[in-house]
């Protein structure tokens, strides 16, 4: 009788269960804020997230994990997660989107998990970077990654009943974006440069009171798939094209059957309409507050979404570390 509850496809809102994983990672990583050690911060987040995700009733596989780029011993691509009983699902994790932000005590670091039915998430394989274009619901039908920068900005402005000079474009602050930044400025739009964390940057385009209209530029492919899950839940749109740095990556991509010229639409990045997403703030940001450590409690701020129901929840949680330590394998009081 119990086994009948564990269907092959996710039915209940599992995003709330995944929130426990992002909360755990944020609680652990937040201890390292500003301490200059991004490896230690990431290790703490990975351990905590993995512990929590393995308590969930699911037959999960990490499709987007710490990956080859991070040489991760845990939460790696292909790792099985969960109790093994429950729906078969693809999982995308980023225990810290913004490890450098965390290490330096800068704003915008978050912990993220996304989940979808098995076989529905895009696997970027050996290609680590993607050119991305992300907009919120109002402009979802007017953008094209193969159109010019100027045309996309103009179309977004028209869709949102704005002047071009009132449009704000989110761009990762990288040398590779010098030409992109120059073109945006020449078009007359505003720019919000972010040092890291383009998942959080993309989320800003879907929240009207945060003043961002479009995200452009090249960022990580793992982050792109996670972003697609969030954008699908928020009703926005995203397009991408794989971006290779050199001939070796091109040969690898070709050998693995990837087409670097193909425009990847939102449904290419995550084909299911039943996507779950959870993010918890590690440091204070535009979208979520960071972890607050108080004398006998810790406070976290999270965003929890499911695309099938359209439900978006903001969850502020109060954690009692002494009680958590008694029932968990994670030492939430450790600040060594």
Question: In degrees rounded to 5, what are phi and psi of residue 236?
Answer: -90, -160
Q: What CA–CA distances, in Å, run from 229 to 83, 163, 171, 303, 328?
A: 23, 30, 20, 13, 29
Nearest-5° Cα angle at 178, 175 to 179: 140
Please state whether beta strands 88-97 and 110-117 pair in parallel, antiparallel, or not at all (unpaired): antiparallel
Residue position matching structure tokens 């040092």: 195
Contact partners, residue 204, CB within 8 Å, separation at least 6: 170, 192, 210, 211, 212, 215, 286, 287
223 is in an annotated binding site: yes
Q: Which two tokens stand for residue 149?
A: 């920068």
176 annotated ligand-binding residue: yes
Q: CB-side exposure of 51: number of CA atoms within 13 Å? A: 16
174 is in an annotated binding site: yes
User: Is 129 annotated as belonging to a binding site?
Assistant: yes
Run of H or E residues at 230: helix 221-234
98 in a known ligand binding site: yes
- Tokens 């995700």 correspond to 53
CB 94 within 8 A of CB 183: no
DSSP 279: E
Question: Both ends of the chain: CA-CA distance in Å?
Answer: 46
The DSSP annotation for 118-149 comes to TT-B---TT--EEEEEEE-GGGTTS--TTS-H
The response to whether 255 counts as a known ligand-binding position is no
80 bridge partner residues:
61
267 is in an annotated binding site: no
Asked if residue 281 belongs to a known ligand binding site, the reply is no
Instruction: State the binding site.
Output: 42, 66, 94, 97-99, 129, 174-176, 196-198, 220, 223
Instruction: Write out the binding residues for substrate.
Output: 97-99, 129, 174-176, 196-198, 220
Residues annotated within the binding site for Mn(2+) are: 42, 66, 94, 97, 223
């Amino acid at each position: 009788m119990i086994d009948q509850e564990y269907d092959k496809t996710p039915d209940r809102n599992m995003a709330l269960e995944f929130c426990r994983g992002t909360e755990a990672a944020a609680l652990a990583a937040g201890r390292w804020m500003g301490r200059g050690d991004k490896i230690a911060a990431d290790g703490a987040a990975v351990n905590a997230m993995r512990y929590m995700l393995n308590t969930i009733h699911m037959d999960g596989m990490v499709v987007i994990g710490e990956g080859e780029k991070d040489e991760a011993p845990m939460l790696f691509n292909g790792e099985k997660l969960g109790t093994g009983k429950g729906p078969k699902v693809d999982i995308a994790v980023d225990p810290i989107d913004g490890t450098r932000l965390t290490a330096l005590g800068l704003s915008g670091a978050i912990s993220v998990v996304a989940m979808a039915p098995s076989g529905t998430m895009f696997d970027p394989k050996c290609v680590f970077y993607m050119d991305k274009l992300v907009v919120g619901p109002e402009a979802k039908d007017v953008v094209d990654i193969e159109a010019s920068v100027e045309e996309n900005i103009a179309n977004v402005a028209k869709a949102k009943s704005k002047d071009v000079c009132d449009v704000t474009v989110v761009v990762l602050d990288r040398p590779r974006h010098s030409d992109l930044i120059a073109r945006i400025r020449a078009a007359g739009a505003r720019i919000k440069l972010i040092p890291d964390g383009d998942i959080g940057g993309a989320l800003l385009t879907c929240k009207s009171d945060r003043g961002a209209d479009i995200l452009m530029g090249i960022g990580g492919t793992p982050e792109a798939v996670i972003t697609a899950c969030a954008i699908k839940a928020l009703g926005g749109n995203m397009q991408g094209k794989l971006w290779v740095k050199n001939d070796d990556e091109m040969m690898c991509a070709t050998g693995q059957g990837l087409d670097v010229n193909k425009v990847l639409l939102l449904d290419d990045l995550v084909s299911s309409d039943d996507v779950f997403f959870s993010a918890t703030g590690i440091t204070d940001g535009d979208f979520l507050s960071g972890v607050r450590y108080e004398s006998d409690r810790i406070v976290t701020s999270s965003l929890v979404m499911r695309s099938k129901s359209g439900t978006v929840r903001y969850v502020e949680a109060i954690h009692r570390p002494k009680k958590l330590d008694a029932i968990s394998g994670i030492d939430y009081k450790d600040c060594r």
